[in-house]
Amino acid sequence: MLSNPPILLLKDIRKSYGTEEVLKGVSFELSKGETKVLIGPSGTGKSTLLRCINQLTPPDEGEVWLNGTELTDKKVDINKARQQMGMVFQHFNLFAHLDALNNVKLGLTKVKQMSEKKARSKAMEELERVGLANQASSYPAQLSGGQQQRVGIARALAMDPKLMLFDEPTSALDPELIGEVLEVMIDLAEAGMTMLVVTHEMGFARSVCDEIVFLENGKIVEQGSPRQFFENPEHKRTREFLDKISELYGGSKR
């Protein structure tokens, strides 16, 4: 891990909404090929932090560096930078008026200016990768939550990102649909994708990720390897939170 230079670097990110400071100086880095899991109670700023990374929500203070470019610099072409960071949303956010294929294709033709034909075959490839080639012409409302989320992942992957951001990708899904999405994510991690995943799927964290970051009240409380985290957490709060999670989400079977 040490030999890899950081792809993503966060320096002292701060963000307030009105008088409420949601992020109180968060710093960490992500190396190439690394999978980091971000956990923490709801309302603690996890989604805000992800959006600060791709500047959907520009942070008030601090720096975000992607591959040696400072994204928090106002002069940077943010639309270009965002193509290198795929984002997967809790509620999928598929384009409601487009079928699965066109959801994946839109960014290719309208952002990457790919030809119709190339975009089509690339989009099909991505759908294949998430196991949904047979649903290419289904519209979001005709797909199950798990299928929608897989299309969401394919849409992000189609842009050939250097980094994938997942914001609770399975928490809006019925339990029996979670597995199919996690499977896609595990494949992705094993194929060497750099990923930052907000999730409470502790099975995924335990078996796939390289490091866990525990965020609470806009601050990092603890970060470390899954082994250290689950077996010997440094902070009392971390242990309490992990206990609560395993209570809520039913152990670590997955």
Partner 1 sequence: MEDLILIWNSLPALLKGMLVTLELTLAFLGLGFLVGIVFAFGQVYGNKFTQTVIAIYEKVFRAIPALVLLFLFYFGSASLGIKLSAFISACLAMGLRSSAYQSQIFRGAIQSVGKEQMMASRSLGMSQFKSIVYVILPQILRLSIPSWTNEFAIVLKDTSLVYALGITEMLRQGRYIIARTYGNSLLIYITVAVIYFILVFTGSKFFSFLEKKFKIPGYETKEEKEGVRAV
Ligand X SMILES: Nc1ncnc2c1ncn2[C@@H]1O[C@H](COP(=O)(O)OP(=O)(O)O)[C@@H](O)[C@H]1O
Choice between 45 and 146, CB closer to ligand X: 45
| Residue from the set 30, 35, 47, 94 that interacts with ligand X by CB under 6 A | 47
226 binds ligand X (CB under 6 A): no
244 binds ligand X (CB under 6 A): no
Burial status of residue 25 (CB atoms within 10 A of its CB: 0-12, 13-18, 19 or more): middle
| Residue from the set 1, 2, 3, 42 that interacts with ligand X by CB under 6 A | 42
Choice between 78 and 186, CB closer to partner 1: 78
Spatial distance between the Cα atoms of 61 and 48, rounded to a whole number of angstroms: 13
Spatial distance between the Cα atoms of 33 and 137, rounded to a whole number of angstroms: 33
**Closest approach of ligand X to the CB of residue 17, in Å:** 3
**Closest approach of partner 1 to the CB of residue 98, in Å:** 8
Spatial distance between the Cα atoms of 35 and 12, rounded to a whole number of angstroms: 21
DSSP assignment of 147-200 equals HHHHHHHHHHHTT--SEEEEESTTTTS-HHHHHHHHHHHHHHHHTT-EEEEE--
22 binds ligand X (CB under 6 A): yes
| Residue from the set 13, 34, 48, 122 that interacts with ligand X by CB under 6 A | 48
Contact positions vs partner 1 (CB under 8 A): 51, 54, 56, 79-83, 85-87, 89, 91, 93-97, 106-107, 110-111, 138-142, 155-156, 159
